[in-house]
Structure 1
Amino acid sequence: MSGRISVCSLNTGENEQIDAVFRLCKDKRCVIYGTVIDEFNAPVADAVVKLLQVTGCNKTPIPLTHTFTDRYGQFLLGPLCPNKKYMLKIYKDNITIRYEQLNANSYEGKCIGVSTSNNNCNTECNK
């Protein structure tokens, strides 16, 4: 998913129709869009979806933000930095928690995340 939201102002004249074309700049940030379903493949409404960033070997993931699923079980989180590892935690009453590490690629601009400048992990940890 790329593109950047832009804002513009325009004034309309009397009895005028405006045919507008908007060109969005390239944006390399990413989003996570998903659906939470139960064991019967039914959407899970109002589940909590937490976004955490995995910052290195044997470190506790850092909570970044959260959202709730809509009535269709859908959620959206972002914008995310490229080349960072993320984890989702999903909670809903008796729903089992699933841990998933995610890799996001490409980025220009601000995003949700923690800046990490030192990655001295061994190669086994980065797999």
Structure 2
Amino acid sequence: MAATKLELIDLDLTPGTELDMDVNLQEEFRSVVHGVVRLPDGNYAENAAVKLFVVDETTNNLIPIAFAFTDEFGQFLFGIENPSLKYKVKVFHYVPENPLPEGTTV
């Protein structure tokens, strides 16, 4: 199944406006990995580190290729250039027990 590129279009509407749109999407050959990280209590894990690895088929080693931090809704996204490779994702979330006061530098 072929995919199409996501198109983001800003809409500037006023009350009573009727908008007729014609959107032409371009074919997309890359893949995407996206998801949501949640804490054990079901809340979103904001600022979790999500690391993307490609698996070396010969050695089975993990080769890091990208990382992202989740947003306030626990969301992350990676673009995948070569979907025929094997990938793995690792997720890490840490909440300090005694956070430093705001404005403190180490």
What is the match of residue 11 of structure 2? Answer: none
Say whether 1:79 aligns with 2:89: no
Amino acid at match of 1:43: Y
SS of the equivalent of 1:50 reads strand
Q: Percent identity?
A: 30
Amino acid at match of 2:63: I
Write the deviation string for residues 79-118 of structure 1: whole angstroms up to 9, x where unpaired. 3422211110111117xxxxxxxxxxxxxxxxxxxxxxxx
SS of the equivalent of 1:42 reads coil
Structure 1: runs of 5 or more not aligned: 7-18, 95-127
Moved over 2 A (4+): 19-22
What is the match of residue 35 of structure 1? Answer: 36
Amino acid at match of 1:25: Q
The structural deviation recorded for 1:22 is 3.2
Q: Give the RMSD, CA atoms, in angstroms.
A: 2.4
Count of aligned residue pairs for this structure pair = 83
Say whether 1:61 aligns with 2:62: yes
Q: Find the aligned partners of 2:57 and 2:75 in 1 and give their Cα distance.
A: 29
Structure 2: runs of 5 or more not aligned: 8-19, 96-106
TM-score for both structures, normalised by structure 2? 0.65
Amino acid at match of 2:80: P
The structural deviation recorded for 1:24 is 1.8
Q: How does 1:39-50 map to 2 (within 5 A)?
A: 39-50=40-51
SS of the equivalent of 2:4 reads coil
The structural deviation recorded for 1:43 is 0.7
CA 1:5–1:44 in structure 2 vs 1: closer, same or farther (change >3 Å)? closer
